[in-house]
Each structure stands twice: as structure tokens, then as C-alpha cells.
Chain A
Amino acid sequence: MHASPLSSLLSVQHVSKIYQHSTGPLTVLQDISFTLEAGATCAIVGPSGSGKTTLLGLCAGLDQPTSGSITLASHVLQDLSEDALARLRNTVVGFVFQSFQLIPTLTALENVMVPLELRGDKHASPRASELLQRVGLGQRLQHYPIQLSGGEQQRVALARAFIHQPRILFADEPTGNLDAETSAQVMRLLFDLNASAGTALVLVTHDLDLAQQTQRMIRLKGGMLCD
């Protein structure tokens, strides 16, 4: 991996994303630039189709921009191979998804252990247990996702996102599938874990109240930043 001299944790510079369709090119993001310091929190907001999720994916190294550059934890993402990106995600990045994305064949405990196990860590189990205790699921370690409620599944996902102590957490509509009360619980946990671990947070949401709890808001409209 090539390290970048930039000091910010995440640096997005003049990023554009254009998809080629049979009907012609479709510009989803256009000339986006911003930076995020370590431990900082920000929300990406905007109407449907404004490019929020695409921007989140690009920042997390899940896709490559058409132009511009993204630097994450001193690594220029365009310079990394697919497997190098996977290694970077496994060490630096945590994810929380709207649809929880737990592996149905693994128990809650095993799901949380996955990021550490992928790097061959033999001591994932105690850490995973501890985190599940912390999110209030100490009694449900051996339950499968199908045996858990939506709120419980998202709490398992939170524990999984923090187990490998990422430097940055990307959360994509983390309360989109939850009711108001459960959403509040999950977000409280998310911010608590974030604060205690000193992790930076990038949150994609439609919920302006939620967005206002972050330190900074990035507004997108038609694939462009609007301030």
C-alpha cells in the first residue's frame, strides 16, 4: 500500500462518479471534495438519488471513482488492489447497514467475530462476547439472526462494526428499518461506542434530527455538494 502524506483520516478530492449506460453516461457524483479528521463525525444528507450511498461506498473503498482521489488512513484508494482494499477495510473501516447484513448461518457471537477471524485473530471470542454484553445482548450470544428482532440484529451489527477497533465507521441509514424507539436506542449505542473508541463516523441518513447530532453535515443534491 502506498501511504499519502495527508494528515486527515479521510480526504475526498474532486471526486466524480459516472456510470455508463446504454442510454448514455449517467453522472451520479460530480466534483465532490471534503476531509474528515480522526474521531470526527459527519452526516451525508440529501434527497433520494442524490448520490449519498454512492459517496459512502467510494469513501469506504467499496467502489472506485471515475475521477478525483480518495485517501483513507493515509492510503490512496485508487492505488490499491481489490484484496489490498479488503485488507484496509478489515483493519481501518467499520460498517453498519440499513438492512443489518448479518450472516444467517452464524450465531450472534460468530457474526461479531467475523472481522477479527478474517485476519486470523485467535482471540476474537472474548472480545465479541464483551461487545455483545455491552450492547445488551449478553444472553443472546448463541442466537441466530432469524431468532433476533430487527433492533437486536442492528445491535449485533454495531458490535461487529466495532470489534476490530476501526478508525472510521460508515453507517448507511442505520435506523432505516427500525421503529422510532428502537432507532433511538441504536443511535445512542452508536454514538456511545463511537465516542469511547475515538472512531470517526460517516453517517448517511434522511433523518435531519439524527444528522444534526454529528459535528458536520454534507448536503448532496443531484450529485453535487450544496452548502
Chain B
Amino acid sequence: MAWRDSRGSHTRLVLAMTAMMIGVAALVAILAFAANVHSAMATQAKVLLGADLVLNSRQPLSADMAALLATVPGEQAREIRCTSMAYFPRSADTRLVQVRALEGDFPYYGTLETEPPAAAQHFRHGLQALVDDSLLWQFDAQVGDSIRLGTVTFEIVGRLLKIPGEAATAALLGPRVYIPLPALAATGLIQPGSLLTYKHYMKLPPESDLTQLLETLAPHLASQRLESETVQKRLASMGRAMTNLSRFLNLTGFIALLLGSLGVASAMHVYMQDKRTTVALLRCLGVQTRQAFLVYLLQAAALGLLGSAGGVLLGSLIQTFLPMLLRDFVPVSLPVRPAWGAYAQGGLLGVWMTLVCALLPLVSIRRVSPLLALRVAADTTPAARDGLRWLLGLLMGLSMVAFALAYTERWAYGLGFCLAIGVAFLLLTATARLLIMLVHAWVPASWPYVWRQGLANLARPQNQTLLLVLTLGFSTFLLLSLALVQQMLVQQVERKGEAQQPNIVFFDIQSDQRDAVVQLVRTFALPVQQQVPLVTMRLSSVKHQSVEVLRNAPGTPIPTWALQWEYRSTYRDTLSATETLVAGTWHGQVSDLDRPIPISLETEIAHTLGVTLGDILVFDLQGVPLTTTVQSLRKVDWQRVQPNFFVVFPPGVLETAPQTVVLVSHVPSNALSAALQCAVVQQFPNVSVIDLRLVLATLDTLLARIVFALRFITLFSLVAGVMLCVSAALTTRTQRVRESVLLRTLGASRRQIGQILTTEYLLLGGLAAVTGVLLAVLASWALSLYLFEAPFTPTVPPLLLTVLAVMGLTVLIGRLSSRGVVQHPPLDVLRDA
């Protein structure tokens, strides 16, 4: 009976099923991807680190520490990392890179993927280098070409394709160049004040006890300011990042499933409205309420089963594309394996959500009076009084909350997400209702008939205007918000390069190079906007408590990084343009060195260190203690391109200390910037350059990759929205045909009918687009203001383009779904008794 009854409604049911299928597919693909990532991380755990233990430090190992480590059995490798300008002699291009000088056979687990593969071993001797593939592409350089780092020219022996444990996007931020460690000293890149990272990689024999070794090393590590990193630690930190990625993806899947559920609920609602007379007739013929209910419950179950099965199939196909899309963000190789658990979860959730969403309209069958078969106006008890409907509504809500909680793994996140979705839907509903109301109130009677009829159609019986505005608006909102945030971030950096704002920074200039670099910049007729001295120091005590004590104190509120930070400080007697004094008094020249030196702290670091005005900080300047007192607190605009500092000393203290200089200028063109960088690198190989244009290009590329991946995921909700649109158009098709036939009988031409349909979808798309755009602008504004703390000035053309695109898409879907509506002969109007 269930099958026979569904004849003639198959298209409509299939469409409702498709909406659920898209939702299940999104969820299955995402769950399977996450399962593959977690399984890859578990099997490639050691590859993530490349060694059993890594020690990191900002300074070279002391002789004692080196001797201690030499007693540890197994293999060891050393690496020194620094930033430097790379110069390609063939093309005369320069670029800031991360130099990694390596000695030993690191990585011990996994391999450096290179082209040719043998280069991963070849480069470790002589003057040979492995260069990031992206960098070679950028400058059209080849294996066999040369690259100069500092004063030494290396032969490029291989392209660096992948480093175990590092995501590909890392190369965008700082292209990596591997050279042999013994060659580093000759480059001249290690100068006083250079920012270096020392890494010590250790591979232990299989029988070694890592925990015991760490316990033995612990006191030495603390005193030498060494950070240890184990596979477990790396796995935990990667796991957190991956969990965040999974959470985000899961929630996207949730949204797609939510839209699918809405589609099923809405389609079943309309379907059951249509079936009321059939139910009444069946009841007249003696069918019990329970039996009638069962007929449609079976249909819904079949719908859920087929939709979920289709979704699992489609999701397993999409699953194969996700690793390609997200591999740049994941530090492990991603094999695509069947994830049966994910398939089962997605499938079961699909069936459950279909049943829960279908039950709500299904229970109305119980109230259908057999009298309806005789008289259309036969009344039924108002739905609002049906307790079961309320119960089912609650079940539906609880199912969604349970789903969100299960997939975000934290109560706060799950509830927060449900709340956010609820608020977003409420806002969308309110905006959509308001817009619909405004359109109805505003459209003047003098408008052409087809426009007014198109508008009136939005309120036709069984219309799904609000649902469509919600789903299309929601998709528009998600996609546009991403685009707006990307635009805002890029604009923010672009703005810094405007006019005479500084856009190029030279750093690591030695004191004796200062005048020559200034002279060189001026020969290019460029301004030297700032020359800032920079002195490197470390904290040794805070408020009379030594850093070692604070580090080991249980529950210390000061984070380790702040205690171990290499503070690059400056000295001057005036505030810079990016600073505002918020507390205390600004220091002047210091003459009495016997008293604590009055310094100025940036407000955030003062908060992190838990100090305020008058507190004592002792810094260690290459073995010389500097006792200071906090005399003022400054707020700093870190977003400006110029050197900013946590700690500013008064003049009269640091002039004789070892220091480097940072020089800031403005270069008006790319060509001049390249020429200047080239000249600087040629004459001062140890000097590095940050070019704002490069930062901008890098940011743009990185954001484009992230946004592309996010857009792809968000497209699921758009596809689900489109399916709902098609489903809704077909659901109201009978009504549409009836109207079309009637209007043609009354003398409307096909063109007029077409115009009415187009107007209807144009308005629908317009309402959805405007709703989505309004909310996207609101959300982006809020994100800019509160998260990125940047001004938000959306440009109008992309917004207009979005509105037009959504309207166009809606008209296209609507007209395609309404094909044949005008083909029905007018005679049907007489048969429709």
C-alpha cells in the first residue's frame, strides 16, 4: 500500500531524498576524511617529528650539555635555523628564506621528499642546497642553478617537495633552504644579534626508555633554557590542531545535514497536506489511523534509507577529493581508505534525521477526519494543541543538540554552536520576514501586473518562501562572509603600503654597517624613515623571583614563552607614532646607573608577566644583569609596518651594548624594491629584508588556499539549498500549473506567464541574497571589529555581484523546475472541478 500510494509522487519524494542525500554525503566525506587523518597520524606518529627527541634552544649548546648529550646512545643530528636573504645569481632575484643548516642523518623517521630523490642525501656535503619547490617555481630556477646565502654560493641539487611533519603551507610563510651545517659559518649569516634556533635531533635505540632519559635531562634542560619535544608532545599539539580542523569540518557537515533535514521536513509537510484527502478516503474505507500512519511512515523510512545509502555512496566518492583539497594544511600523507565507521555513522544519522523530521508532519494524519473526503472544509483539531507534535519538535531539537555535542566533543562548543546556529537562523528568519513584509508593503499598485502577480505568488498556498529564503540566504551568508573576511584581511595589509607608509624593513644590520646601508638606500633616492637600534636580552627575574624558580613553580601564571623570550629591545627618549602612553610617566635620559633603570613596557606583555608600574624586572644582557623598574605602560599598534617593542629603554644605558639596527623605508615600485634588495644582498649578505608586497602576496596566496578549501566545504550547504529550491519549485508545481492555466484562460500570453514566473524567482532570489548579504556584512563587520581589530569597509560591487548571482541562480533553478508549466492546455481549467 505504501508503495502504491507513493506512485505519482516519486519525483517529489526523490528530491526530498536528494536534499538528505547531500547532507549525508557531506557528513560521510568529512567523517571519513577525519578518520583517515587520525589513522594516518597514528601510523605516521614518529614521522611527525622525524626523531625520538628534539631539543630546541635560542643559543648554542653549552660544552657541558653537549658532553652530556654525547653520552646518550643512538644517533644525533644538529640543525641551526635562521632567516636570510637568498639571492639567485642567474635571475638576480632575492627573497627572504628560512635557512636550515643540517648535520647528521635527520630525519630518522620518514624522508625529505626531493626531486631528484637522491638529493635528500647529496646536499649534506660541500656547498650544496635543497630549495623549496615553490621558491624555484617563483623564480623559474632549476636544479643545477646557484643560490647565494650570505657570502657563499651553493649549487641547488634538489627541489624540496615535502618535509615530514610539516604542512605544505609552511613553505608559503618562509620558503625553506637546506644546506650542510659546516657551510653555515662561512656564509657570515651568524652575526651578533642574529635570531637563531638551535635544534638537536636524537634517535634512540629501540630498547631505550625515553621517559627516564627526559627525567635525567630535565634539570639540565631547564638551566640551559632548552625545550624538549617528543613524538607524544608533537602528536598532542598536532592532534589539537587536527581536532580543531575536524570540529570545523564536522560542523560544516552538520549544517549540510541540517539543511537536508529541513528539506525532508518541508517536503513531507507539503506531501502530507496533499495526502490528507487520500488519508480521509482510506479512513472512510475502513483503514485504521494506525494503518494509515504506517503507510506514510514506511514511505518516510524508505526515503531515509535510500537517501542515506545514496549519501554514503556519494560521500565516499567526495572523500577521495578532500585530501587533495586539504593536504596543504595537514602534516601527514593522507591515504584514502574506506572508513566504515564513518559510513555507518552518516547512514544511521541520515535515517534517524529523516524519520524524526518526517514524523512531525506525519502525526497530523491522526487528526484527519474521514469527513474530509466528503467536504473540503471539514475541520480538524488545531495542530498547536497536539502534544505529540510538541514532543516530536523537542525530539528533533534534542537530536540536533546531541549531534552537535557528539561531533564537537565539548559541551561548551556543542551548545555554543547550536546556539549560534539557532541565532543565525532566527536572524535569517527575522530578516527574511521583515524583507518579505517590506516588499509587500512597498510594491506600489502602479507596478506592472506581472510584477505584482509574481510578488503575490510568494504567498501562494503551501509556499516555501521562508524556507527558501532561509536556505539560500544561509548559503549566501556563509560563502560571502568568507570572501569578505579574506578581502578585509588583504585590504588591511594593502592599506599599510599606501602613500608614504613604510613598506620595506631591513634588519640584522650590524652597527658598523649602519651608515653604509643608509647611504645605499639614499642612492636609490629613497627615504630612510627610521633607524632603530636593537639589543637582544633575556629575562632573569620578575619581581625578585628568578625565571628558573618561576618556570618550575607549580601553577605559575606566567607562560614559559614569556619567561624564555629573547627580548629584542630598543632605546629612545620619545614615543613612536604607533605608541600611546596609558600609565606612568615617560622616561628621559638616564644618568644614574646605580638605581633601577626606568623602562616602558607594552601593556599586553606587562599583563602576561603580571607586572605593573614600579615592579622590578632584571634582564640578562649577554651575562650583564640590568635591573629595571616599570615606569610606564604603552599601548602599541602592532599592525603598522615598523619595528615595535615590548621593552623600551631610556637613552644612556644600551648605547655600548652589542646591537643591530633596523632600517625602515618606503619603496614606490616593485622594480625599485627588487633592485634595492639585490644591491643590499650583494653588499651586505647578512642583512635581511621584509618587503610588504611579498607579505601581501603571501597572505593573499595563503588566504586564497584556505578560503578555497572552506568554500568547497561550504558548497555542500549551497547544493543542499539548491536541491531544496528545486524541491520547493516542484512541490508547488501543481498550484503553479493551475494558476498558469487559469491566467491563460483569462487571456495571458505565454510571455506574461513566463514573466510572472521569472519575477517570482527573481524576488525570491533577491530576498535570499539580500538577507544573506546583510548578515554576511554584519558578521564580517563583527569579526573585523572584535577578532581582527581592523577597519571594515566592504566594497559594494562584490556585494551587488553576489545579489545578482544568487538571483540569477534562483531564476535559473526556478525556470528549469517550472519547465512545461505553460505547456498545459487551458482546457485543464475546466477539468479541474
At the interface, yes or no: B324 with Cβ under 8 Å from chain A? no
| A83 vs B743: C-alpha distance when bound (angstroms) | 12
Known: A103-B739, A118-B449, A118-B752. A62 touches B832 (CB 8 A): no
CB interface residues, B 453-470, toward A, < 8 Å: 453, 456-461
Partner pick for B831 among A53, A88, A110, A115, CB 8 A cutoff: A53
Per-position binary interface string of chain B over residues 735-776, scored 1 when its CB falls under 8 Å from any chain A CB and 0 otherwise? 000010011111111111000000000000000000000000
Partner pick for B829 among A82, A91, A101, A104, CB 8 A cutoff: A101
Give the interface size bracket for B toward A: 20 to 34
At the interface, yes or no: A114 with Cβ under 8 Å from chain B? yes
What distance in Å separates the Cβ of A17 from its nearest Cβ neighbour in chain B?
10
| A30 vs B687: C-alpha distance when bound (angstroms) | 102
Partner pick for B747 among A53, A57, A91, A176, CB 8 A cutoff: A91
Per-position binary interface string of chain B over residues 715-745, scored 1 when its CB falls under 8 Å from any chain A CB and 0 otherwise? 0000000000000000000000001001111
| A120 vs B448: C-alpha distance when bound (angstroms) | 8
Q: Is the CB of B460 within 8 A of A105?
A: yes
Q: Is the CB of B826 within 8 A of A176?
A: no
Q: Is the CB of B456 within 8 A of A106?
A: yes
Residues of A within 8 A of B826 (CB): 57, 62-63
At the interface, yes or no: A188 with Cβ under 8 Å from chain B? no
Residues of B within 8 A of A62 (CB): 745, 825-827, 829-830
Per-position binary interface string of chain B over residues 317-360, scored 1 when its CB falls under 8 Å from any chain A CB and 0 otherwise? 00000000000000000000000000000000000000000000
CB interface residues, B 801-833, toward A, < 8 Å: 825-827, 829-833
What distance in Å separates the Cβ of A24 from its nearest Cβ neighbour in chain B?
21
Partner pick for B832 among A57, A60, A99, A117, CB 8 A cutoff: A99
Q: Is the CB of A87 within 8 A of B833?
A: no
What distance in Å separates the Cβ of B733 from its nearest Cβ neighbour in chain A?
15
| A226 vs B743: C-alpha distance when bound (angstroms) | 34
CB interface residues, A 24-68, toward B, < 8 Å: 53-54, 56-57, 60, 62-63
Q: Is the CB of B746 within 8 A of A173?
A: no
At the interface, yes or no: A162 with Cβ under 8 Å from chain B? no
| A63 vs B829: C-alpha distance when bound (angstroms) | 11
| A57 vs B827: C-alpha distance when bound (angstroms) | 6
Taking each of B459, B461, B743, B826, which has the highest tally of chain A beta carbons within 10 Å of its own beta carbon?
B826
Known: A101-B742, A105-B457. A86 touches B749 (CB 8 A): yes
Q: Is the CB of B830 within 8 A of A87?
A: no
Q: Which residue of A lies closest to B742 (CB)?
A: A101
Q: Which residue of B lies closest to A113 (CB)?
A: B449
Q: Which residue of A lies closest to B750 (CB)?
A: A83
Q: Is the CB of A97 within 8 A of B829?
A: yes
| A105 vs B745: C-alpha distance when bound (angstroms) | 18
At the interface, yes or no: A143 with Cβ under 8 Å from chain B? no
Q: Is the CB of B830 within 8 A of A115?
A: no
Q: Is the CB of B747 within 8 A of A119?
A: yes
At the interface, yes or no: A214 with Cβ under 8 Å from chain B? no
Residues of B within 8 A of A60 (CB): 745
Q: Is the CB of A86 within 8 A of B830?
A: no
Q: Is the CB of B830 within 8 A of A118?
A: no
CB interface residues, A 177-192, toward B, < 8 Å: 177
At the interface, yes or no: A74 with Cβ under 8 Å from chain B? no
Known: A63-B826, A63-B827. A83 touches B749 (CB 8 A): yes
Q: Is the CB of A90 within 8 A of B746?
A: yes
Q: Is the CB of B830 within 8 A of A53?
A: yes
Residues of A within 8 A of B739 (CB): 103
Q: Is the CB of B742 within 8 A of A118?
A: no
What distance in Å separates the Cβ of A156 from its nearest Cβ neighbour in chain B?
13
At the interface, yes or no: A167 with Cβ under 8 Å from chain B? no
What distance in Å separates the Cβ of B828 from its nearest Cβ neighbour in chain A?
9
At the interface, yes or no: A89 with Cβ under 8 Å from chain B? yes
What distance in Å separates the Cβ of B428 from its nearest Cβ neighbour in chain A?
23
Residues of A within 8 A of B833 (CB): 98-99, 173, 176-177
Q: Which residue of B lies closest to A98 (CB)?
A: B833
Residues of A within 8 A of B743 (CB): 103, 114, 118
Residues of B within 8 A of A152 (CB): none
Residues of A within 8 A of B749 (CB): 83, 86-87
Q: Is the CB of B830 within 8 A of A97?
A: yes
Residues of B within 8 A of A83 (CB): 749-751
Q: Is the CB of B832 within 8 A of A118?
A: no
Per-position binary interface string of chain A over residues 90-129, scored 1 when its CB falls under 8 Å from any chain B CB and 0 otherwise? 1101010111010111100010001101111010010000
What distance in Å separates the Cβ of B784 from its nearest Cβ neighbour in chain A?
42
What distance in Å separates the Cβ of A169 from its nearest Cβ neighbour in chain B?
13
| A170 vs B456: C-alpha distance when bound (angstroms) | 27
Known: A83-B750, A86-B749, A87-B749. A56 touches B830 (CB 8 A): yes
| A62 vs B827: C-alpha distance when bound (angstroms) | 5
Q: Is the CB of A105 within 8 A of B829?
A: no
Q: Is the CB of A101 within 8 A of B460?
A: no
Per-position binary interface string of chain A over residues 73-91, scored 1 when its CB falls under 8 Å from any chain B CB and 0 otherwise? 0000000001100111111
Q: Is the CB of B461 within 8 A of A104?
A: yes
| A9 vs B561: C-alpha distance when bound (angstroms) | 98
What distance in Å separates the Cβ of A173 from its nearest Cβ neighbour in chain B?
7
Nearest 5 pairs of A and B residues by beta carbon: A90-B747, A117-B449, A105-B456, A62-B826, A57-B827
Could you list some 11 contacts between A and B, CB below 8 A?
A56-B830, A57-B827, A63-B825, A83-B749, A83-B750, A89-B746, A99-B832, A105-B457, A114-B449, A118-B743, A122-B446
